[in-house]
Structure 1
Amino acid sequence: MANLTLIQAVNDGLKTAMRADESVVMFGEDVGPKGGVFLATEGLTAEFGKGRCFDTPLSEDGIIGTAIGMAMNGLRPVAEIQFQDFIFPAFDQIVSEAAKLRYRSGGQYTAPMVIRTPYGGGIRGGLYHSQSGEAYFAHTAGLKVVIPSTPHDAKGLLLASIQDPDPVLFMEPKALYRSVKGEVPEGEYTVDLSTLRTVREGRDVTVYCYGAMVPVVEKAAAQAKEQRGIDCLIIDLRTLLPLDEEGVIEAAKQTGRVVVVHEAPRFCGYGAEISAMIAERCIEYMEAPVKRVTGFDTPFPNTLEHHYLPDERRVLDAIEAVYDF
């Protein structure tokens, strides 16, 4: 196995998919010879040619509209939106066209396409390069929303997304692009969508997280064990839509105490859905109210980024609060 960073695993996944299937094409802003702003597509144009990995105009709605047309006509496009913050001009194309195509055509047409986009904070990008908009898209039937947190999952989930018959929004935590490394199998393999990953076993508190918050939660759980002897069960959600709901409920029942962590704003954030699901389906098992640790309900700051993003101290406080309730 190769020891890769998360961004290298994404690059390897794209190359693997393009070598295996000539219908896979990659395009977006600066993804061609330059290799993308984070070098996720480095080397693709050189290996596969300008017909299969190419630059587009600065037009997000045009990028996604083109991908939909390609997907309807036999290709498997992978479209990159350079930063998730730039995706909103294409919002209508994603939620009203790509996500609805199978339904509105009675199954006659589908949109097997992947939209790759880096999201979240951690690089001092300020308010226009640091947003976490997963909740907007997890509200959309017909769309899948996937967020990896390890190099292994980045490649495996990406390959599964490219093979999926419906549109997938593949959100990459840019804070982890080069800060995590791990073993990644060579060649083709997939990680099933709509499955959870147990990061750490534990009996006292269940902590749900995804993306860049997974390493933060791991650090907080280690401190909870060292300082208080609290055992945390850490669950990486990985696929936000469709979610493995039964897996979520079972993990909550195991401990009766739950913390949910994400860097997006708190109000109507994805953690609210996890909290509601637990309240509706397993309240009788709960020993404490669900705690959420999130970003704040403000625009994303620049100089105060380290205060905005959840850190291990805030997560540890929540773990101790539900444990001591």
Structure 2
Amino acid sequence: MSDGGSGEGTSMREAINDALHEELDRDESVYLVGEDVAEAGGSFGITRGLHEAFGDERVFDTPISEQAIVGSSAGAALTGSRPVAEIMYADFMGLAVDQVMNQAGLFRYMFGGEATVPMTVRTVNGGAGFNAAAQHSKSLHGLFLGMPGLRVVLGNTVYDTKGLLKSAIRSDDPVLFFEHMELYNREAEIPEESYTVPLGEAAVEREGEDVTVVANQLMLHHALDVAESIDGEISVEVVSPRTLKPLDVETLAASAKRTGRVVVADESVMQGGPGSYVARRIEEEAFYHLEAPVSIVGVDDTPVPFSPPLADAVVPGPEDIEAAIRALPRL
């Protein structure tokens, strides 16, 4: 179910809040923790009203220490709680890498499979549109793909984000849940009743015949816009991975085999990034069906600038996705 843009409906911000409210209400072992998540409602207003509804013991603030937020959550998860920790920006995840990589991700293995770590870390990827400069604009979901024991999930559409977050909170594995600051105001019609979306399953957001575009977060919406604009000239299938770890290679490869041409668009650095990983897995599984190597649209090896024109030049947009599509042979 793709988003309809900024029309009437539920915003992604509201959908995340609803998911958190529903899970707090459903399971008393769930609690929220982070910087300014209580009375302030979080830096993007995601957790507004939750402290009032559930009190100090279920929704509470921490000092400015990402290590303490993630480390304490990992320990609490071992003892039966289901913490949902908020890290304000993905850029700040670097401060908690040790707790993620050497603690949360390894506990189940180190305890011989008898321990579970049901914790969720919510954080937000950046983008050019907010002009938040180099330390608040990175998209870092790819950083954690090489760390065993973790699940890496992306909020791409309003519908998926709510359902995936609820599944993440119910998972017995540590989940890193990446939202996107430029998608919080997007709106779409979603079911009023509670629902979940399974982790590890991709979604075909638009069917097509000539080329597959695999895209995440804001790039997904750019890809859908491009597909609509060139429909009738080139038939574009758009696939949303939704979960990068584990990656639904089967769905991606099936689409690639049907169309024979693939573009992967991801708002991360291309060198060693998730776009490169996804492209390699598709080529591995669909090699003899491809008319050309998989094309990658991403960020060059550079920080995201503060200057709006420079940021727009660094972070790919719809024109970059369309150019990559048109550059494929036999189109």
State the alpha-carbon separation in 2 of the partners of residues 84 and 279 from structure 1.
29
Q: Which amino acid aligns with 1:266?
A: M
**Equivalent residue of 2:182, what SS?**
helix
| 2:250 maps to 1:246 | yes
Query: 1:78–1:114: 8 Å Cα contact kept in structure 2?
Result: yes
Alignment-derived partner of residue 162 in structure 1: 169
Write out per-residue CA displacement over residues 80-100 of structure 1, whole angstroms, 9 at most, x where no aligned residue: 001111111100100111011
Indicate conservation of the 8 Å contact 1:204/1:231, yes or no.
Answer: yes
Q: Residue 236 of structure 1 aligns with which residue?
A: 240
Specify the alignment match of 2:32 in structure 1.
26
What does the per-residue CA deviation read over 1:93-149, in whole Å, with 9 as the maximum and x for residues that have no partner? 001110111111001211100000011213111101110111111111210000021
| 1:224–1:319 contact (8 Å) kept in structure 2 | no
- The match for 2:61 is 55
Measured in 1, the distance between the counterparts of 2:259 and 2:126 equals: 30
Give SS of 1:206's match. Answer: strand
Shift of 1:271: 1.2
8 A Cα contact 1:16 1:187, kept in partner: no
Aligned partner of 1:232: which letter?
V
Partner of 1:280: 284
How far 1:281 moved relative to its partner?
2.2
Q: Which amino acid aligns with 1:109?
A: A
What are the superposed Cα offsets for residues 261-297 of structure 1, whole Å, 9 maximum, x if unpaired? 0111111111111221122222110111211111121
Shift of 1:246: 1.0
CA-based RMSD of the aligned residues comes to: 1.2
> Partners in 2 of 1:160 and 1:57 — Cα distance?
28
1:63 CA drift (Å) = 0.4
1:186 aligns with 2:192: yes
C-alpha distance in 2, partners of 1:276/1:15?
A: 39
Q: Deviations over 1:143-202 (max 9, x none)?
A: 000002111111100000000010000000111011x11122234210000011111100
Q: Distance in 1 between matches of 2:214 and 2:239?
A: 5
Aligned amino acid, residue 130 of structure 2: I
Q: Per-residue deviation at 1:323?
A: 4.4
Selected match of 2:18 from 8, 12, 15? 12
Q: TM-score, normalised by structure 1?
A: 0.96
CA shift for structure 1 position 59: 0.3
Partners of 1:84 and 1:294 in 2: CA distance: 17
Equivalent AA in structure 2 for residue 245 of structure 1: V
Which of 203, 211, 233 is equivalent to 1:205? 211
Identity %, equivalent residues? 40
Aligned to 1:313: 319
The more displaced of 55-64 and 181-190 is 181-190
- Kept after mapping to 2: 8 A contact 1:34/1:42: yes
SS of alignment partner, residue 19 of structure 2: helix
Does the Cα contact within 8 Å between 2:249 and 2:282 map onto a contact in 1?
no
User: Using the alignment, how far apart are the partners of 1:137 and 1:110 within structure 2?
Assistant: 19
Question: Counterparts in 2 of 1:218-229, with a 5 A limit?
Answer: 218-225=224-231, 229=233
- For the residues of structure 2 that align with 1:282 and 1:236, how far apart are their CA atoms? 18
**Structure 1 outlier segments of 4+, above 3 Å:** none
- 8 Å CA contact retained: 2:304, 2:315: no
Kept in 2, the 8 Å contact 1:144–1:241? The answer is yes
Cross-structure match for 1:88? 94
Pick one of 249, 255, 258 that aligns with 2:259: 255
Cα distance between partner residues in 1 of 2:249 and 2:295:
18
Between the aligned partners of 2:281 and 2:74, the Cα distance in structure 1 is 33
Equivalent AA in structure 2 for residue 296 of structure 1: D
How far, CA to CA, are the matches of 1:166 and 1:258 in structure 2?
Answer: 31
Equivalent position of 2:273 in the other structure: 269
Paired residues of 1:224 and 1:320 also in contact (CA < 8 A): no
- Distance (whole Å) between structure 2 residues aligned to residue 3 and residue 70 of structure 1: 36
- Matched AA of 2:96: A
CA contact (8 A) 1:223 1:316 kept: no
